Structure 1
Amino acid sequence: MAIGLMLRPRCLPEKSFPSYAYLSGRQPHPVRDPAGHSYDSEAMPLAAEASLDSDMFLWGLDLFNHGYYWEAHEAWEGLWQVADRGGPLRMFFKGLILLSAAGVKIRESKHAAAVRHAGRAAGLLHRLMDTTDHTFERALGMSPAALAEQAKAAARIPATLQATALGQPQPVFDFILGPSSGGRPIRSI
């Protein structure tokens, strides 16, 4: 699948994206390296509670949809850490974190790792199919089961990556997550 450049919706348009999308060994580590995009900045705060209405969750969606997979992982990890252990919300955040990790591995052309992370994400998301209140579906714009299938498909047929400048974000999934996205596929230009 080839992912074309296009205008993608934003949940929090007032927030500025990081100056680069981090890939290990290719750019400075965002928080540990003095040249990192988030060095000496306020670290991602630990969420007071795990919520799908929080700015942290929405920021993670923006980062993910725009190809900042490492950064999306970091945003959602704060929510995962405070979610009830063994609860569906914690499983949901872990699934998104693993899907973000798959995005990083696809960008790094590490196919086996991408398949492993996407498969683990899909496994967790499939386990959420029994939820009957549609909370996750409304937050994602698609059911967790549909996202699980998208994750597995993306790992099976990796995106055809275009040459980009070092650090330029590049979406690798052909769907958009978010409450108003309806999980709609992206058309390549």
Structure 2
Amino acid sequence: MRLPPDQWRQSADYLHGIDLYNYAYWWECHEVFEGLWNAAGHHSEQGNFFQAIIQLAAANLKLSMENPQAAHNLLHRGMIRLQRVPESYMGVDVAGLTEDLQKCVAGSTLYAPLIRLNERN
């Protein structure tokens, strides 16, 4: 079932997927967001957003498996996808997340940035 972007607060799957990402259950996060991505449509704005999160989760998984080249490629592709959605989308400060991801890619942080939800948007 397709999730209207302004109803993200009511989606148990979406909220659960964000929690899985933030608690480093990246494979499980990938699985949840793949279902949301398929329902949203692969070429929609929302589908693009979900695919970005899938790529970020996969990048973190690759980092934990000590495959930095694959992680870098996935992070880069995920950040490109995030540039195609509004700066604030489905409760996520996309601009802030992108900035945190850039710090990760630049090597100034060793940890995957959290996806923080903002109740106001």
Q: SS state of the match for residue 49, structure 1?
A: coil
Q: Does residue 91 of structure 2 align to residue 139 of structure 1? A: yes
Q: SS state of the match for residue 43, structure 2?
A: coil
CA RMSD of aligned residues (A): 2.0
Between the aligned residues of both structures, percent identity stands at 28
Q: Measure the CA separation in 1 of the matches of 2:19 and 2:49.
A: 17
Q: Does residue 87 of structure 2 align to residue 148 of structure 1? A: no
> Unpaired runs of 5+ in structure 1?
1-47, 160-171, 181-189
Counterpart contact for 2:37–2:51, Cα < 8 Å? yes
Q: Measure the CA separation in 1 of the matches of 2:40 and 2:112.
A: 26
Give the corresponding residue for 2:68: 111
Runs of 4 or more consecutive aligned structure 1 residues displaced over 4 Å after TM superposition: none
Task: Output one character per residue of 1:22-64: Cα deviation in whole Å (capped at 9) or x when no partner.
Answer: xxxxxxxxxxxxxxxxxxxxxxxxxx22352311110011111
TM alignment of 1:1-189, pairs within 5 A = 48-51=1-4, 52=8, 53-129=10-86, 134=88, 136=89, 139-140=91-92, 142=93, 144-157=94-107, 159=110, 172-180=111-119
Query: Counterpart of 2:117 in structure 1: which amino acid?
Result: G
Offset of 1:89 from its aligned partner? 0.4
Q: Measure the CA separation in 2 of the matches of 1:93 and 1:176.
A: 13
Q: SS state of the match for residue 179, structure 1?
A: coil
Q: Greater relative contact order: 1 or 2 (C-alpha under 8 angstroms, separation 6 or more)?
A: 1
Offset of 1:148 from its aligned partner? 2.1
Offset of 1:176 from its aligned partner? 4.1
Counterpart contact for 2:58–2:71, Cα < 8 Å? yes
Counterpart contact for 2:97–2:115, Cα < 8 Å? no
Number of corresponding residues: 114
> Unpaired runs of 5+ in structure 2?
none
TM-score (norm: length of structure 2)? 0.82
Q: Measure the CA separation in 2 of the matches of 1:108 and 1:155.
A: 16
Q: Measure the CA separation in 2 of the matches of 1:92 and 1:174.
A: 16
Q: Measure the CA separation in 2 of the matches of 1:114 and 1:50.
A: 29
Q: Decide which structure has greater helix share.
A: 2
TM-score (norm: length of structure 1)? 0.54
